[in-house]
């Protein structure tokens, strides 16, 4: 029995995504990796096809689709073995803040262009000395008449170069409670006092434009506050469930891709006169990895169902994010080993996959933090 009930419309959508990827993504992956960024024109092409922000309601230019459309798109994009066109960050992590907490004016102003790809979004939480501990952030938001004045620095911001709109977390220094002091603000690129730093060089995710963002006496109107003042920390906690579920889905899909790629390689690689798959050691390695991947798939699909039903699964997504990302890296490392020396060569896809999957154990909250969260909510 299947856990996820895909309709015929879902299957048609997956087929359309695959055709788009074959036409607009795969021929350009290597040039994006070299350039360290994906052209904005590709984002607009995705928007034209209806592949961005599928959950945005129809009255704001979206399709009002269920979460399974996001799952499909993420799975198919993961199998492109590139990270620059990471549409799920835009569609399923950042834009939901505007959908859930934006005013009517904010929704009408920004959501239609998020759907078309004219606006690319980023979320700015992490700071040089405040990663998973959001209450320790130093970026300030001070009210001055009809303006909010922003000062501070954010780092490791995905889409940091391409972004046109940032959901920024900042603190009101006049509020003593560190959690009540946090709020979210919408900041447009080009606003005086908002500057993008140079792109960060990373071990992996080479085509993903990750950057530092700087705010120096950056003035935005008070109307750019997202939601009710004093509730920013709560908003972040509410949306991190979906962000971590996205990490789970991507990790399982990545592990499946790496395993499929390795099985194909092992069937073709001849050693001592026979394919690698005919050696017992290779068979055992593959079977063990396949078992872990299937366990991860079953767990994550159950989490998807629970999430779509509106259940609180903070404990489970924290566990899932930790386990699936660790599992995916184990699979990556074993797959690379089965490739032998070729696995260490850039021309083989497992090399990039191995590099890129490593960061999954860090982003969306490090795995150590995931264990802490789960333990806390378990009452330990």
Residue in 278, 272, 124 with CA at minimum distance from that of residue 189: 124
Query: Are the C-beta atoms of residues 167 and 160 closer than 8 Å to each other?
Result: no
Dist CA 237 CA 265 (whole Å): 42
Q: How far apart are the first and last CA of the chain?
A: 35
Q: Report helix, strand or coil for 276.
A: helix
Distance CA 139, CA 358 (A): 28
CB atoms within 10 A of CB 227: 18
CA distance 116 to 135: 34
Beta bridge partners of 171: 140, 182
Report the residue count for the chain: 380
Is there a catalytic annotation at residue 8?
no
CB 281 within 8 A of CB 334: no
Q: Which one from 243, 256, 285, 292 is the annotated catalytic residue?
A: 243
Measured between alpha carbons, how far is 308 from 330 in angstroms, rounded to an integer?
29
Specify which residues 186 forms β-bridges with.
Answer: 167
Instruction: Go through 250-279 and write b for each residue having 16 or more CB atoms within 10 A of its CB, e for each that does not.
Output: bbbbbbbbbbebbbebbeebeeeeeebbee
Report, as residue numbers or ranges, the catalytic residues. Answer: 243
């Amino acid at each position: 029995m299947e856990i996820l009930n895909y309709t015929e419309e879902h299957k048609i959508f997956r087929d359309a995504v695959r055709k788009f990827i074959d036409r607009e993504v795969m021929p350009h992956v290597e040039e994006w990796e070299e350039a360290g960024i994906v052209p904005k024109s590709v984002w607009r092409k995705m928007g034209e096809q209806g592949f961005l922000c599928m959950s945005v309601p129809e009255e704001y230019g979206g399709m009002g689709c269920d979460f399974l459309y996001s799952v499909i798109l993420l799975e198919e994009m993961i199998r492109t073995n590139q990270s620059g066109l990471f549409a799920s960050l835009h569609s399923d992590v950042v834009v939901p803040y505007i959908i859930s907490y934006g005013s009517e004016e904010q929704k009408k102003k920004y959501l239609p262009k998020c759907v078309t790809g004219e606006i690319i979004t980023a979320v700015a939480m992490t700071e040089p000395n405040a990663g998973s501990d959001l209450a320790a952030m130093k970026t300030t938001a001070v009210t001055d008449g009809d303006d909010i004045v922003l000062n501070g620095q954010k780092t490791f911001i995905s889409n940091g170069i391409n972004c046109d709109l940032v959901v920024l977390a900042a603190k009101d220094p006049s509020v003593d409670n560190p959690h009540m002091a946090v709020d979210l603000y919408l900041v447009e690129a080009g606003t005086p006092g908002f500057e993008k730093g140079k792109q960060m060089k990373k071990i992996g995710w080479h085509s993903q434009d990750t950057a530092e963002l700087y705010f120096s006496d950056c003035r935005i109107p008070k109307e750019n506050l997202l939601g009710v003042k004093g509730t920013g920390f709560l908003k972040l906690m509410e949306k991190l469930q979906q962000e971590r579920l996205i990490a789970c889905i991507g990790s399982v899909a990545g592990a499946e891709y790496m395993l499929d790629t390795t099985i194909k390689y092992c069937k073709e690689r001849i050693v001592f006169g026979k394919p690698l798959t005919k050696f017992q050691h290779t068979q055992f390695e593959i079977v063990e990895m396949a078992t872990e991947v299937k366990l991860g798939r079953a767990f994550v699909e159950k989490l998807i169902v629970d999430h779509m039903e509106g259940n609180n699964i903070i404990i489970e997504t924290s566990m899932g994010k930790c386990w699936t990302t660790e599992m995916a890296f184990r699979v990556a490392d074993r797959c690379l080993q089965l490739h032998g020396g070729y696995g260490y060569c850039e021309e083989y896809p497992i090399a990039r996959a191995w590099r890129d999957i490593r960061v999954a154990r860090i982003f969306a909250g490090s795995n150590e933090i995931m264990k802490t969260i789960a333990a806390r909510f378990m009452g330990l």
